[in-house]
Amino acid sequence: MRGPNRRAILRSAGGASVLASGLLAAPPILAQTKSAFAGTTINASCFQTTYFEYLKAYLPEFEQKTGIKVNFTMQAFPVYNQRTDLELSTRGSALDVCNVTFIYSGRWIGAGWLTSLDSFTKDPKLTPADWAPEDFAGGPQSAMQNAKGETFGFTWEAGAMILAAARYDLIEKQGLGLPRTFDELIKVCDAVHNKDNVAAFTADKLHHWNWIPYLMGVGGNVFKAPPENLTPTLDTPEAAQSAEWYANLLTKYGPDGILSYSDDQSMRSQMSGRANIRTQAITWMVPLAKHAESTVQKTVRYGLMPEGPKGNFPGSNSHGLGIPAGSRKKEAAWEFIKWALSKETVSMIVKNHGYPSVCRLSVINGPEFKQVLTLNGQDVASLFLEVLQLGGKTGYMKYRTVPVYPQVGDKINKAMERVATRQQAAPAAFKQAQTEALQDLQKAGIKVDL
Amino acid sequence: METGTGTGTTRAQHRFFILCVAPSLAVLALITLLPSLYLLATSFTPLSLTRPETLWDFSTPLENYSHLLQDSRLHNSVWVQIKLSFWTVLLQLLIGLALALLLNIRSRLLEALRTVFLIPMVLPPIVVAIIWKVIYTPDISPLHGLLGLLGWNVPALITDPDWALTAIIIADTWEWFPFTMLMVLAALQMMPQELLDAAKVDGASPWQLTWHITLPFIKGVLLVAGLFRLIDSIKAFPLIFILTEGGPGNVTEVTNYYSFLQAFNFSYLGFSSAITVALLAATVALSWLIVRLVGWGNKID
């Protein structure tokens, strides 16, 4: 028998080294997962959002690397929440990855409908150290945890409320600047309202998100001491005074029909130059400077949410990806979350698409993020970070993650509409909201101070 | 003997027919009765999606029903429902009837016009709601634009508490008057010509023909159309969901929409079931009452 000749040995050695170098170059986790998950299909769902619209374009890359096929569906925000609420409550296995919506996070985590992700992040075989769970900003991430500190989701979006003046040129013309206090906001609105046919202020109809920073700014709150004491505090003089003030802001300075405006309509009113100032999450503000259809790209300016006599409480929220308790493909689901929220993927979405509201600190602090969020010469990235830090410091946003917030929020929306349309005076409207909220909380089995 | 055998055969036939329809009846019962019974059962529990232990908790079976009596927002929704149902059914019957009488002439133009009038009814309800959302949103509305050009600045109807319900009534009437029109037209085309001819020979005027011949003939159809529309108006949802979400405040919040909120926004399925059971009972009672009071129409002598 002839032994291997020199040429054959060299050829096989060369082949082996090429193979070895290829394996070394591939991320170890993906190399390991390709065979383990080949042929697996997972179902993921979220509400309609640009982050996942962008991400969907890269899904084939993930599918090729891991062998996991992803059915990713998106619905309108309320539709997604209702469907997922029902799906999670049945503990069914229709979904493997879901968006953990901020206002529902307390309810879904509290009811045990989501899987704790700690077992995945603490296992080095499932999660490499450089994936770094601690890299997610603490403020937004707190909504994804229970009282024991267990994690049920990782955030892909941090909404930070800022102020945007779509037609800052009109404000400048009046010799004024961006409003920094509630009083200044009224002064600016008074000065620019209907100048050049532009309404001074705009907002969407989600008053239980938009109004609360104004309520807190005058010393009010939604609950006594959330999340421990959920006794509503909607019948206080602060609430009545603030509601009157905010309703006036909407009706006196807003475009006609403002009370029916959705998020998108409100953004469009600014983009088309029909309305000027809005205080809302950054996701709705950046398109004013970046969207191809925006007519106010050059005139928009950004600032912090104005502060009230009791301080500044800009809203911040977050949405994360989690795994439903009923999923039968949890490890494959985790592979997807790991990829979708890895530093590389998040960084790529920021770099390629200019997505503004990410949660990875390493990306937020990086030069690309700063470059993407330097709008008309303004460092909007710093504003974003400042709001996230404000929310994380004192935890004033906890009111919004309690399981009963959808019910109480509805009462706030209705009361604000009654005040704004002069059906009721603010004290009466919010007294009614308090009574209804108390009834609802008792129905939900929540103990309240009576 | 013959009679006995005949009766036996009839009975056997009867049993055979029952056996034939039994599977269909069983499927029908499964599809319609079981969910209704489940609805009734859950209405006796405090079922909440966030508290699975409440699923079969019958410890306080009448609690939801006692909440119904105390819930002022529910009472308001019933009043809104009554106003919405009354005006939409009335307007749809009147407009549908008037147009059917006008279009009951054999002419190519009018036949084409009939088809055009049917369009609102065949559009998906969500599309209808979006059309009206555009019409009622001042900054994108062609109607508001036109009125603005004429110097009339009309406020946004769906955010004005004095107009919001009227705005829903207009949209609902536009969507559903063709239903009445279609039913009445079908009835009119089946009306024996000799009835009209005989009346004409007796010297009846067109008004008398309509009042004494046509209307009595189509009375039953009008009643059926009215009942259908009444029941459907109680199920009103897409227009309210898209246009006003029950607002401003609670001005357009009908009972059906309130029940939806309780179940799917707040997770109170037990309470929502109780509302639905009460609504169902009220609808059945109302339909029965109307049929009893008005009758199914009289035959013309």
User: What are the percentages of helix, strand and coil residues in chain A, rounded to 5?
Assistant: 50, 15, 30
Q: What's at A185, amino acid-wise?
A: L
Q: Choose, out of A87, A411, A421, A424, the residue to mutate when testing the contact with B (most B CBs < 10 Å).
A: A421
The conformation of residue A3, written as its DSSP 8-state character, comes to: P
Residues A424 and A418 sit within 8 Å (Cβ to Cβ): yes
Q: Do A406 and B138 touch (CB under 8 A)?
A: no
Residues A353 and A54 sit within 8 Å (Cβ to Cβ): yes
The chain A residue lying nearest B243, using CA atoms, is A260
Q: Which of B51, B71, B249 lies closest to A421 in CB terms?
A: B249
User: From first to last of its 450 residues, what are the pLDDT tens digits of chain A?
Assistant: 344 444 444 454 444 444 444 444 444 445 455 568 888 999 999 998 889 999 999 999 999 999 999 999 998 887 898 889 889 988 889 999 999 998 888 889 988 999 999 999 999 999 999 999 999 987 788 889 887 889 999 999 988 899 999 999 999 999 999 999 999 999 999 999 999 999 999 999 999 999 999 999 999 999 999 888 999 999 999 999 999 999 999 999 999 999 999 888 999 999 999 999 999 999 899 999 988 899 999 999 999 999 999 999 998 888 999 999 999 999 999 999 999 999 999 999 998 888 888 999 999 988 889 888 899 999 998 898 888 878 766 778 888 878 788 889 999 999 999 999 999 999 999 999 999 999 888 888 888 887
Residues A254 and A199 sit within 8 Å (Cβ to Cβ): yes
Compute the mean pLDDT over every residue in chain B, rounded to the nearest whole number: 89
pLDDT of residue A32: 52
Question: What are the structural domain ranges in chain B?
Answer: 65-294
Q: How many whole angstroms separate alpha carbon A344 and alpha carbon A148?
A: 30
Q: How many whole angstroms separate alpha carbon A322 and alpha carbon A327?
A: 11
In a domain, A230, yes or no: yes
- Residues counted in chain B: 301
Q: Do A418 and B248 touch (CB under 8 A)?
A: yes
Q: How many whole angstroms separate alpha carbon B286 and alpha carbon B292?
A: 10
Q: Is A83 helix (H, G, I), strand (E, B) or coil?
A: helix
Q: How many whole angstroms separate alpha carbon B179 and alpha carbon B222?
A: 11
Query: Both A230 and A138 in a single domain?
Result: no
User: A403 — contact with chain B (CB < 8 Å)?
Assistant: yes
- Between B10 and A330, name the one with better pLDDT: A330
> Residue A232: which H helix or E strand, with range?
strand A229-232
Query: Both A311 and A333 in a single domain?
Result: no
Q: Do A423 and B248 touch (CB under 8 A)?
A: yes
Q: Do A407 and B251 touch (CB under 8 A)?
A: no
End-to-end Cα spacing for chain B? 45
Residues B150 and B172 sit within 8 Å (Cβ to Cβ): no
In a domain, A9, yes or no: no
pLDDT of residue B2: 45
Minimum distance, in Å, between the CA of residue B50 and any CA atom of chain A: 6
How many structural domains comprise chain A?
2
> Residue A59: which H helix or E strand, with range?
helix A59-66
Q: How many whole angstroms separate alpha carbon A16 and alpha carbon A26?
A: 15
Q: Do B159 and A257 touch (CB under 8 A)?
A: yes
User: A444 — contact with chain B (CB < 8 Å)?
Assistant: yes
What are the backbone dihedrals phi and psi of residue A13, each rounded to the nearest 5 degrees, phi first?
-65, -40
Nearest to A321 by CA among A76, A95, A91: A95
pLDDT of residue A73: 94
Residues B138 and A256 sit within 8 Å (Cβ to Cβ): yes
Minimum distance, in Å, between the CA of residue B140 and any CA atom of chain A: 10
Residues B297 and B219 sit within 8 Å (Cβ to Cβ): yes
Query: Both A95 and A113 in a single domain?
Result: yes
User: B249 — contact with chain A (CB < 8 Å)?
Assistant: yes
In a domain, A245, yes or no: yes
CB count in 10 Å sphere of residue B296: 10
pLDDT of residue B51: 73
> Which top CATH class is B65-294?
mainly alpha
Minimum distance, in Å, between the CA of residue B277 and any CA atom of chain A: 19
Query: Both A165 and A223 in a single domain?
Result: yes
In a domain, A294, yes or no: yes
pLDDT of residue A401: 76
In this structure, of A21-25, B89-93, B103-107, the range with the lowest mean pLDDT score is A21-25
Q: What's at B283, amino acid-wise?
A: T
Query: Both A146 and A165 in a single domain?
Result: no
User: A17 — contact with chain B (CB < 8 Å)?
Assistant: no
pLDDT of residue A33: 53
CA distances from A345 to A373, A410, B19 (A): 18, 36, 64
Nearest to A397 by CA among A212, A264, A244, A146: A212
What are the backbone dihedrals phi and psi of residue B245, each rounded to the nearest 5 degrees, phi first?
50, 35
Minimum distance, in Å, between the CA of residue A285 and any CA atom of chain B: 20
Q: Do B158 and A260 touch (CB under 8 A)?
A: yes
The chain A residue lying nearest B139, using CA atoms, is A256
Helices (H), A272-424: 282-290, 330-340, 343-353, 361-364, 367-372, 380-394, 405-420
Query: Both A407 and A309 in a single domain?
Result: yes
Q: Chain A partners of B261 at a C-beta cutoff of 8 Å?
A: 410
Tokens of A261: 């405006």
State whether the Cα torsion B273-B274-B278-B284 is positive or negative. positive
Q: Do A421 and B244 touch (CB under 8 A)?
A: no
CA distances from A403 to A75, A105, A116 (A): 22, 7, 18
Q: Return the half-sphere exposure (C-beta side, CA atoms, 13 A cut-off) of residue A131.
A: 24
pLDDT of residue A374: 92
End-to-end Cα spacing for chain A? 96
We report the CATH number of the domain holding residue A349 as 3.40.190.10
Q: Which of B50, B249, B266 lies closest to A440 in CB terms?
A: B266
Q: Do B247 and A444 touch (CB under 8 A)?
A: no
Q: How many whole angstroms separate alpha carbon B215 and alpha carbon B205?
A: 14
The chain A residue lying nearest B74, using CA atoms, is A436
The conformation of residue B224, written as its DSSP 8-state character, comes to: H
Query: Both A421 and A279 in a single domain?
Result: yes
Residues A324 and A162 sit within 8 Å (Cβ to Cβ): no
Kindly tell me if the per-residue pLDDT of B6 is higher than 70: no
Query: Both A226 and A286 in a single domain?
Result: yes
Q: Chain A partners of B248 at a C-beta cutoff of 8 Å?
A: 259, 417-418, 420-421, 423
The chain A residue lying nearest B70, using CA atoms, is A439
Q: Do B249 and A107 touch (CB under 8 A)?
A: no
pLDDT of residue A392: 65
CA distances from A445 to A276, B259, B264 (A): 44, 20, 18
Query: Both A272 and A332 in a single domain?
Result: no
Q: How many whole angstroms separate alpha carbon B52 and alpha carbon A326?
A: 15
Q: What's at A154, amino acid-wise?
A: F
Query: Both A143 and A267 in a single domain?
Result: no
With cut-offs at 50, 70 and 90, classify the pLDDT of residue B270.
Answer: very high
Q: How many whole angstroms separate alpha carbon A403 and alpha carbon B186?
A: 54
The chain B residue lying nearest A418, using CA atoms, is B249
User: A124 — contact with chain B (CB < 8 Å)?
Assistant: no
Tokens of A6: 């020199």
The chain A residue lying nearest B244, using CA atoms, is A260
pLDDT of residue A19: 42
Residues A284 and A162 sit within 8 Å (Cβ to Cβ): no
CA-CA-CA-CA dihedral for B163, B164, B169, B175, to nearest 10: 120
What average pLDDT does the segment B187-216 reach? 89
Please give, one letter per residue, the 3-state secondary structure of A28-54: HHHHHHHHHCCCCEEEEEEECCHHHHH
Q: Do B159 and A82 touch (CB under 8 A)?
A: no
pLDDT of residue B236: 87
Nearest to A149 by CA among A127, A116, A105: A116
CA distances from B103 to B98, B172, B244 (A): 9, 22, 34
Q: How many whole angstroms separate alpha carbon A401 and alpha carbon A408?
A: 12
Q: Do B137 and A265 touch (CB under 8 A)?
A: yes
Q: Is B247 helix (H, G, I), strand (E, B) or coil?
A: coil
The chain B residue lying nearest A113, using CA atoms, is B50
pLDDT of residue B301: 45
Beta-bridged to residue B79, according to DSSP, are: none
**Domain that residue A357 falls in:** 29-157+317-372
- Between A30 and B214, name the one with better pLDDT: B214
Query: CB burial class (10 A; 0-12, 13-18, 19+) of residue A351?
Result: middle
Query: Both A330 and A429 in a single domain?
Result: no
DSSP for A119-160, written as a single string? HHHT-TTTS-GGG-GGGB-HHHHGGGB-TT--B--EEEEEEE
Query: Both A284 and A367 in a single domain?
Result: no
Q: Choose, out of B267, B272, B273, the residue to mutate when testing the contact with A (most A CBs < 10 Å).
A: B267
Q: How many whole angstroms separate alpha carbon A297 and alpha carbon A316?
A: 25
pTM reported for the whole predicted model: 0.80
